[in-house]
Amino acid sequence: MLNFTVKQLAADLAAKRASSVEVTQYFLKRINAMGKALNAFISVDEEQSLAAARAADRLIAAGKAGPLTGIPLAHKDIFCARGWLTTCGSKILSNFVAPYDAHVIERFNAAGAVIAGKTNMDEFAMGSSNETSFYGPVRNPWDTAAVPGGSSGGSAAAVAARLAPAATGTDTGGSIRQPAALTGVCGLKPTYGVVSRYGMIAFASSLDQAGPFAKTAEDLALMLNAMAGFDARDSTSLERAPEDYTCDLAKPLKGLRIGLPSEFFADGVAADVAKAVEQAIAELRKLGCDTVEVRLPNMQLSVPVYYVLAPAEASSNLSRFDGVRYGYRAPEYADLLDMFRKTRAQGFGAEVKRRILIGTYVLSHGYYDAYYIKAQRLRRLIAQDFVEAFGKCDVILGPTSPTTAFRIGEKAGDPVQMYLSDIYTIAVNLAGLPGMSIPCGFGDRNHPVGLQLIGNYFAEAQMLNVAHQYQQATGWHLRMPPGTG
């Protein structure tokens, strides 16, 4: 059961070789045994989890089970879940119990899945290392002195350490793909609008997108089948016909054109990462893929563009956390304005405050045109680069992260170096494209290396096909961190 995929667990449940209660208890025991050392979870509620497992067993007994019925899943603590503490990794929401379910949680509940717990994350999803959480840093199962990546590091670490067979995360500038790469698991960011943001606590609304973590591309497809779908409560949710993301997994790759952007293989990428990615490219060529060189000339602008637009949206979204209606409130204050000031000063961490200040500045009178409007224009140029690249190829490929996992605290004092950890992922969010990361080898310190696949709009099934065929020919995704067996 330890290294079973979601599909394998579902087969065991359907064949009555195990019950959902037994499977859920197994993973809860692992969370209790290993969760504190990794700090991967913020909250676990065994009573609620086992109640959901018993309900799933009744569905299975009645012949009403689906592919995810009875499967325990970990959820990033950014998704509201009725009756569950939902903190977003922040002191300001440390006492907030959600009164409703996010759309993603609703979809998994309808599928009969079980909530195994809520995972640790960078505060309000602001970070690339999972060090900004009010609850402390998450540790990488491959090296507990190293970061797991962020902001969805708790979910990635939980899947890597086999504390859950799969998990959810969110990706604003690479926050699913980068931690997936650094922990040696698979992570998928769908096309913007494919998965509803309703009930997902907002960071940057035009960039945020929910997606799954799992051990295999096939499991990602099963998860996305449940997560995707139109939701009228989210004005950015796209109304599209339902799609089966598992349909093309077995399709041969012969003739598929893989684009290799020169910008992904420049001086910024570490030698050990580049070596593993080159070996993955060679394997894909063996599988019948053709490679072509493409260019993304404005990709170098993606980090500065992102750090104008994302903080601007964050400064607006986070204005609702003021201590009036819910969440933390400063214990002592002189008047209402003083309560606002002290609540936000005490409730937000340093990185969140930094981004609120930057966002407020670029939106202010006199700077709006110089920064915010200019960044929006550059965003369009970045998206246009991808349109032109996809005229020459079907899928774009490169490293997910320029390095493998770095040590906890190594970049904490240098925000710019930390921001550059997402240099290869941010442009995908700015363009609204789908992207994913899968394991493709190990670096010099036996840290996992991630291979990033970028698809055209709504090409998730094609990306998953490439990833699945690669995983049929390799075994990197089956490796387990030492000491987790």
Mean pLDDT by 10 residues, the chain (485 residues): 95 96 98 94 98 98 96 98 98 98 98 98 97 98 97 98 98 98 98 98 98 98 98 97 96 98 92 98 98 96 97 97 95 97 98 97 93 97 98 98 97 89 97 98 97 98 98 97 88
- Predicted pLDDT at 341: 97
Residues 19, 20, 49, 76: which is the catalytic one?
76
pTM summary value: 0.97
Handedness of CA 181, 270, 310, 393 (dihedral sign): negative
Residues 20, 49, 129, 151: which is the catalytic one?
151
In whole angstroms, what is the distance from residue 151 CA to residue 182 CA?
12
CATH number of 6-252: 3.90.1300.10
- Predicted pLDDT at 440: 98
- Predicted pLDDT at 1: 84
Note if 302 is an active site residue.
Answer: no
Using only C-alpha atoms, the chain has a radius of gyration, in whole angstroms, of: 21
Handedness of CA 158, 162, 163, 168 (dihedral sign): positive
Residues 19, 20, 49, 175: which is the catalytic one?
175
Task: Please list, in sequence order, all residues whose beta carbon lies within 8 angstroms of the beta carbon of residue 377, skipping any fewer than 6 positions away.
Answer: none
Contact (Cβ atoms closer than 8 angstroms) between residue 386 and residue 433: yes
Contact (Cβ atoms closer than 8 angstroms) between residue 321 and residue 93: yes
Sorted by where each begins, the domain ranges of the chain are 6-252
Where do we find the tokens 């442009």? 427
- Predicted pLDDT at 266: 85
Note if 43 is an active site residue.
Answer: no
Burial (CB count <10 Å: 0-12, 13-18, 19+), residue 251: middle
In whole angstroms, what is the distance from residue 427 CA to residue 171 CA?
12
In angstroms, the first-to-last Cα distance of the chain is 11
Note if 76 is an active site residue.
Answer: yes
- Predicted pLDDT at 161: 98
